Structure 1
C-alpha cells in the first residue's frame, strides 16, 4: 500500500507547483514508509510513498513504460496482475520489474481506457499519458483505497489524503456546511463531497480523464446493475459461495512479506482465518484486541477460533486512556471528523499488528453483503407498516410501542421498542437514516446556531437515501435487498472502508478484504435477501456455508460490534476534555453550534439522565478537526496527543 499525489497544470508547472510536490509527498510518508520519490515534467508533478509488498527491490514508483511516455503512481494491489502480465508480454511489452504496478502502464497502452475493467483488486491510481496530455484517475469497485481531487487556479490536484492537497498554496481551506450537516447524520459525507468546500473524492468504481472535454467521473462497474436471481438451491449455493470466498482468500495471500489476519471472533473474520489455515503450510498469524471493560471485550471468542484453527495468536489489551490519547492523531489521519468511534480500537489493533506483519486480512464487508445487522430484521416489519395510513401509524402504533417500552426492564428490549415507536411513522429512507444517525433532523436543528440553521434550511439528509430507493427496481429487489445494496454503496465505502484505510495506513499496515472481491460481491448481490435473513437469524447463508467449519459458539453468538465504552469514558476520565474543548472561547467563536444545546447535552450525560456518548464524540471530533485543519497553517505534521 502507498500514498500518491500529483499536480497537472495544463499551462505548465510553475514555481508553486514545483515547490509544493515535495511537502505534498512527504506528508503521506506514513502510508509508505519504505521509499518516496517525485517525478516532474513540463505539465505534471507526481509523488509517491511506498509500502513495499510485491517486488520489494524493483517496484519503486513513479513507474514508466518502455519509452517514458506513460507514467503512473499507484496505491493498492492488483491480484490478477500475473495473468495480465503474461498477456502483455505476448503482445510485445517488456517488463523491468515483477511488480503489479508496471502492469498498469502496459495495460493502458494495449487496452486503452478499458484496461480498468480488467483489474481485480483494491486500488487508487493516477496515470499520465504524456503524448496525449491526459491524466487518468481510477478507484476500485468498493472504495477500499481513497482518492481525492480539487481544481485550483487552473490546475488539477489529486492525493490519497486531503492533507496533501492542502499543502499547495492554491488550495483554500473552507468548511462545507452542507457536508457537515450530512456528517452529523450519516457518520460520513456521502457522495463525492467532503467537509472541505471544493475538495471532492472520486467515487468507487469510477475513473476520470483530465485533459479532454468532459472530465467528470465515469462509472466502469455498477453494483446496482447486478440482477437478483430468483431461484437458488441451498446446497449448490453454499458450495459455490465457499469456493468463491476461498479463491478470494488465496489471491490475497500473495506478496513477498509476512501476512496475518485480524480476528474478532465473529463469523466473517473467523471464516477468513479458517480458509487461510487451509491454504497455508504454516500456522496463520492472527491478532485480536480487547478492552479493560469486559462488556466490550470479544477476545474470548477470538481465542476460541484461534485454538480451533491452531493459529499463532497474539492478543492485545488496551485501556480507555490509551485509546483516547490517539484521538487528535486519528482526526489528522482522517482529514475529516471521524464519527465512527471504532476507529480507535482499529488503529490500536493495526499499530500492534504492524509490529509482527506488513499485511493483514480482515472480514470486512460481510455484514453489508450477507445481512449481518439486526436492523434489517426490525426494518422488514417496519416497512410493512408503510401500507397502514400515516395517521394510524402515528396515533396508534407510536403510543403502543411507547407504552410497551415502559413495561420491560431489559435495556436492549426497551431500546428496541423505543426505536419502533420512533421509527414506525417514518418513510423507508427516513428510517434507514435514523438507524445510523446519532443526531435526528430535529436534534440537528436545535444544535445549530440560528445563522447555520438558516443556511441549512431545506436540506434533508434523508433525501440522499431516498434517491437510491427511487432508483432501484422494486420488481427485481425486495425491500431488504434494496437496503443491503444501499449500505454497500454508501455506509460501507464512506464509513467502514475509510476507517480501515486510515487506521491501518497510519502505521503502514496493508489490510486486505477477501469478502469484498469482485466475484464474492457479485455473487452476494445476486443472491436474494430471503436466503441471507430468515426470521431473526442474520447472515444465514454465510453461516450455512461454514456450519461444519466454524465452532458452533461462533455461528450462533449474537453480533456484538467493534464498539468502545464512550458513555462511561465521558462520565469519567474524559469529562474535563469534553467540557474544555466544547465550551471554551475557540469552540464558541466558530458560530456553528448553540452553546445552550451543547451544555444541555453535557449536563444530561454527566448526570446520567441520558446517554449522549456518541453525540458528544462527534462534537469533540469536529472541534479537534477545526483546531488541526482550520486554525493556523495547513498541518504538515502529526498533532500532539491529548
Structure 2
C-alpha cells in the first residue's frame, strides 16, 4: 500500500508476494488493485467453495466501496448474514467472507465486536481511504506488517512481506532474544522493523500514518455463579462452540491424543454430528507402545487412552505412526523453517512431528478440531500446581522443574548471552506481562497470583502454541480450529476463582466436571500428559551427526555464535547420558537457527 505513489506498476511484485502464501491457500489465487492499494490472496476453500473467492470487492454504481482479503473462519456468519439482509444488504454468495465484507460496510471497524471466530483480515475502505488490519481476539490467525514512509506492507506470514525491496532481512538483539528464549512478546515479529498485529487489535493505516487500537482484552469480573451453575455454563458454552465449528463444506476431523482436552472436543463433536461418526487422528512413534518410558513430564503413552475414547464414542479413527529417524532429516527441518519463517528452536522434535502428522491428516481432511489451549484456560499445566513455579519471579514454564524443557541456550557462547543480557530480557518481559494482567480488588493473594499466571499463560505461552499449530497445519493446507479459544469461553472462565477451578484438588477441575459424562472413566481420571516426543536415541544420534557437519563447515553462519568447546563435549559424551537428558534441545536450537540463517539469508546486527 502506497499513498504517495500508485501501485499499478507493482503487479509483478504483488504476484510474487501472493504466491508465497500458496501453502496456506492451495485452492485458488487472486489479486486486486486500486490507485493506492494492491491486495493478494491465496485461498483454502472451506465454506462456499465456488463463491468465496478473494480478494472480494463491494461496488455501487460502478464505484468501489471496499475490498477484503481474509483468512480464517467466522462461526456466527449465518446470524450476521440474516441481520445484514434485514438491513438491506444483498448477497451473491454463501461465504462468511462476504458477510465480513458487508459487515464492514454496515458497521465499519465496529464489526469486530460482533465476530465470533478465528480470523485475520485486511480491508481497504475506498470511501474513507484507509486500510484496516484486524486480528482475532486470541491471536489464532497470524497477521504481520512492515510500515513504510508512505504506507505499509502486510501479509499472513513474514514470507509474504520479505520479497518487498524495502523490507530488510535483518535481525537485531531484540529479535535474537525472542529466538533463544521461550517467550513470545505480543507484537514482536523477530525481523527488524516488522511487527505482528496483536491479538484483539486493529491497525489503521491512513495517509497521515499508522495507528493501533485494542478492541478486546481479558477482563476480571466478579463471578456470581455457584459451582453447579459454573459447570453447567462451561458445558453449555462448549456445546455451542463445537457445534458452530463443525460447519464446513469439506471433510472435517478431530485431533485426538487421549487426554482430557482432545477427548472432550472429540466427544462433543461426535455428539454434534449425531448419526455421522466423527473422524479422528492420533500420533505416536514406532515402538512407543512397547518401549515407552514414563518421566515427570510424560507420565503415560497416549494410544491406550485414545483407543478407549474411540470405542466410547464410535469414532472412525486412524493412528499416524511416525518413524523417529525421519524427524532429524535436514530436508524436513528445511520444510519446517519455510513454514515458520523463523528458526524452530524451543519445542524440539514437536515441530517436525506436527508437520508430518498434519501432512498425513490432510490426505483425508481439510479441517481439524484441536484441544489446544484448554490448559491455559482451565489451569492444566504442572506449573499451575507447583509452588516453586507459582511463586517464581519469572515465567512459570521457565521455573524449575520445567525450565529444562525450553532451554536451548547451553551451546551458545556465554559472552553472546551476556551481551544479550537474557536475564534482564526475561525480567522485563515477565514484568510487562504481569503488569497487564487484570485483577479484582480485594481478592486474596493466592487468587490474585493465579489470575496473573493465567493471564501470562494465555497471552505469552499460548501465543507460541497457536503459532506453532497454525504454521505447521497451514503449511500443508490443513485448517485447525481451536474451540477452547472461543472468546466467550475464555472470558467467562478467566473470571472464575481459582478455588472453583480446582474444587476437587485436580487440574482442570471445571472442564473435567463439565464433560465427564461424555468420556470413558480412564480418560476422566488421566493425569495431564503433553504432546508426545520421541524417545528413540537414534534421533539424537542423527542430530549429533548433523551438528558435527555444521561445526566442520566454515561457512555455517551459526558457528560464530557457539561455544564450540561445549558443542564438542556434548558430541563426545555417551549417547543416552541421563545427566544430559535435555541437551538435545540445544542441538535442535542450534540446527534450526543455522538452517534459518542460511535459507533466509538473514543478516545479524549484533
- TM (norm. structure 2) is 0.89
Secondary structure at 2:181 match in 1:
helix
Matched, 1:164 2:160: yes
Matched, 1:346 2:317: no
Trace 1:486-635 onto structure 2 (pairs within 5 A).
486-493=456-463, 495-533=464-502, 537-565=506-534, 568-582=537-551, 584-587=553-556, 591-604=560-573, 606=575, 608=577, 609-611=579-581, 612-630=583-601
What residue ranges of structure 2 are gaps of 5+ in the alignment?
A: 293-297
Distance 1:25 1:509 in 2: 18
Asked if the contact 1:74/1:126 (under 8 Å) is kept, the reply is yes
Aligned pair partner of 1:355 in 363, 378, 382: 363
Q: CA RMSD in A?
A: 2.5
Structure 1 stretches of 4+ with a deviation exceeding 6 A read none
What are the superposed Cα offsets for residues 502-543 of structure 1, whole Å, 9 maximum, x if unpaired?
A: 111111111111111122111211112222235862111111
296-305 vs 512-521, greater mean Cα deviation: 296-305
Matched, 1:255 2:225: no
Distance 1:55 1:39 in 2: 20
Secondary structure at 2:38 match in 1:
strand
Aligned pair partner of 1:57 in 29, 50, 56: 50
What residue ranges of structure 1 are gaps of 5+ in the alignment?
A: 1-7, 385-426, 633-642
Asked if the contact 1:142/1:516 (under 8 Å) is kept, the reply is yes
Q: 1:430 to 1:275 in 2, by over 3 A?
A: closer
Trace 1:95-114 onto structure 2 (pairs within 5 A).
95-114=91-110
Q: Which residue of 2 aligns with 1:221?
A: 216
Asked if the contact 1:301/1:554 (under 8 Å) is kept, the reply is yes
Q: 1:90 to 1:321 in 2, by over 3 A?
A: same
Q: Which residue of 2 aligns with 1:411?
A: none
Secondary structure at 1:289 match in 2:
strand
Asked if the contact 2:120/2:136 (under 8 Å) is kept, the reply is yes
Asked if the contact 1:452/1:591 (under 8 Å) is kept, the reply is no
Q: Which residue of 1 aligns with 2:187?
A: 192
Question: Offset at 1:18?
Answer: 2.7
Count of paired positions: 577
Trace 1:415-494 onto structure 2 (pairs within 5 A).
427-429=392-394, 431=396, 433-434=398-399, 437-438=403-404, 447-448=412-413, 450=415, 453-454=418-419, 456=421, 459-472=424-437, 473=439, 475=441, 476=443, 477-493=447-463
Distance 2:230 2:255 in 1: 27
- TM (norm. structure 1) is 0.85
Q: 1:374 to 1:135 in 2, by over 3 A?
A: same
Aligned pair partner of 1:311 in 308, 311, 315: 315
Trace 1:287-302 onto structure 2 (pairs within 5 A).
287-294=281-288, 295=292, 297-302=301-306
Distance 1:484 1:317 in 2: 34
Asked if the contact 2:142/2:467 (under 8 Å) is kept, the reply is yes
Asked if the contact 1:228/1:525 (under 8 Å) is kept, the reply is no
Distance 1:147 1:527 in 2: 31
Distance 2:20 2:522 in 1: 45
Distance 1:206 1:146 in 2: 12
202-211 vs 510-519, greater mean Cα deviation: 510-519
Distance 2:411 2:546 in 1: 23
